[in-house]
Amino acid sequence: MKKEKLIIRKAKISDAATMHKLIQHYAKEDIMLPRPLMGIYENIRDYFVAEKGKSLLGCCALHICWKDLAEVKSLAVKPKHTKQGIGTLLVKQTLEEAANISIKKVFCLTYIPKFFRKFGFRKIEKRYLPHKIWNECVNCHKFPNCDEIPMLKCLRR
């Protein structure tokens, strides 16, 4: 039987509902922030997905915030498929895209700083991030008591 290969590709509109379901799964466990389906559609071009055969196994987005700054967000891998390197591939793909479009700095807001450290992200204070990025925070159920850890990685020029 043919073994399906894992690929990382840009998301399509038809992936949105599955990505939403995956993100909601972790949001219910309070380990990710929820994303409305409408927000996923609106930002579909930000997303990468990991796909094996016809199964979507993970997703991650790169969202441009400012002239030199982007955010890696909405990283999730299906529970049965974690610890197989899929999360790593997704983050690397977003960092590669950031470098390709000459983004200088990439940040994330995370509960798992250990995971992001491996890619060169380092903890920073929230005040170093531009106010613009807090726009969506007012819609978050945790606002104003955000407990996510901000981390930043500078990309090589």
Ligand X SMILES: CC(C)(COP(=O)(O)OP(=O)(O)OC[C@H]1O[C@@H](n2cnc3c(N)ncnc32)[C@H](O)[C@@H]1OP(=O)(O)O)[C@@H](O)C(=O)NCCC(=O)NCCS
Q: With binding defined as CB under 6 A, does residue 150 bind ligand X?
A: no
Q: With binding defined as CB under 6 A, does residue 87 bind ligand X?
A: yes
Q: With binding defined as CB under 6 A, does residue 7 bind ligand X?
A: no
Cis peptide before 144 (omega within 30 of 0): yes
Q: With binding defined as CB under 6 A, does residue 82 bind ligand X?
A: yes
- Binding test (CB under 6 A) with ligand X, winner from 26, 66, 119, 134: 26
What residues have CB less than 8 Å from 157, skipping those under 6 apart? Answer: 104
Alpha-carbon gap, residue 122 to 93, rounded angstroms? 19
Pick 81 or 104: Cβ nearer ligand X: 81
Query: Which window, 12-20, 34-42, 82-90, 128-136, contacts ligand X (CB under 6 A)?
Result: 82-90
- Binding test (CB under 6 A) with ligand X, winner from 88, 117, 126, 142: 88
CB 95 within 8 A of CB 104: no
Alpha-carbon gap, residue 74 to 152, rounded angstroms? 16
- Shortest separation between residue 13's beta carbon and ligand X, angstroms: 22
Q: With binding defined as CB under 6 A, does residue 32 bind ligand X?
A: yes
* Nearest residue relative to ligand X (C-beta): 87
142 CB burial (10 A radius; 0-12, 13-18, 19+) = exposed
